[in-house]
């Protein structure tokens, strides 16, 4: 029972975080192309356009006072997963010629919701190519 309640709380926090991130980016003039895009085991929280650039946005929501900050939770393994998902997205949409980057929106949920947008959150140590 307790595990189910924790899972429900985490899901609500995640949705609230995605809502806050989407609103933040819309207010900045971005166009939201996809939310919770999935293909097979690959998922992208938000796919957006910032001008002509395609931006894959990972939303990380954490409770205030948590052991790990939202930014710290984007581990190298998570980065590799996002790169694989982005490759799948680019293949699916035949969008390899688009300039793209990875951003993270950190959402801290407490008495109020705080957001922090990290542009170019990580650099690719591997080339985003078809192969």
Q: What is the CATH classification number for the domain harbouring 87?
A: 3.40.1350.10
Structural domain includes residue 66: yes
Structural domain includes residue 72: yes
Comparing 10 with 99, which gets the higher pLDDT? 99
Q: Rounded CA gap, 131 and 43, in Å?
A: 19
Q: Rounded CA gap, 66 and 47, in Å?
A: 27
Comparing 67 with 103, which gets the higher pLDDT? 103
pLDDT tens, 8-63? 666 777 788 899 999 999 999 999 999 999 999 999 999 999 999 999 999 998 88
Structural domain includes residue 124: no
Model confidence band, residue 125 (pLDDT cutoffs 50, 70, 90): low
C-beta of residue 58 within 8 angstroms of C-beta of residue 103? yes
Q: What is the separation of C-alpha 130 from the centre of its chain, rounded to a whole number of angstroms?
A: 22
What pTM was computed for the model?
Answer: 0.86
If one counts the domains in the chain, the total is: 1
Structural domain includes residue 96: yes
* Domain ranges, residue 92: 2-118
In terms of residues, how long is the chain?
Answer: 131
Structural domain includes residue 123: no
Structural domain includes residue 33: yes
CB atoms within 10 A of CB 86: 21
Structural domain includes residue 126: no
Structural domain includes residue 131: no
């Amino acid at each position: 029972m307790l595990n189910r309640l924790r899972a429900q709380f985490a899901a609500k926090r995640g949705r609230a975080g995605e809502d806050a991130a989407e609103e933040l980016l819309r207010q900045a003039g971005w166009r939201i192309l996809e939310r919770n895009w999935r293909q097979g085991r690959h998922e992208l929280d938000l796919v957006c356009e910032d001008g002509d650039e395609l931006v894959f946005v990972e939303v990380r929501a954490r409770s205030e006072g948590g052991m790990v900050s939202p930014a710290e939770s984007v581990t190298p393994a998570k980065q590799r997963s996002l790169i694989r998902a982005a490759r799948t997205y680019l293949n699916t949409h035949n969008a390899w010629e688009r300039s793209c980057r990875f951003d993270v929106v950190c959402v801290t949920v407490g008495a109020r919701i705080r957001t922090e947008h990290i542009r170019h959150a990580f650099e690719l140590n591997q080339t985003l190519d078809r192969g």
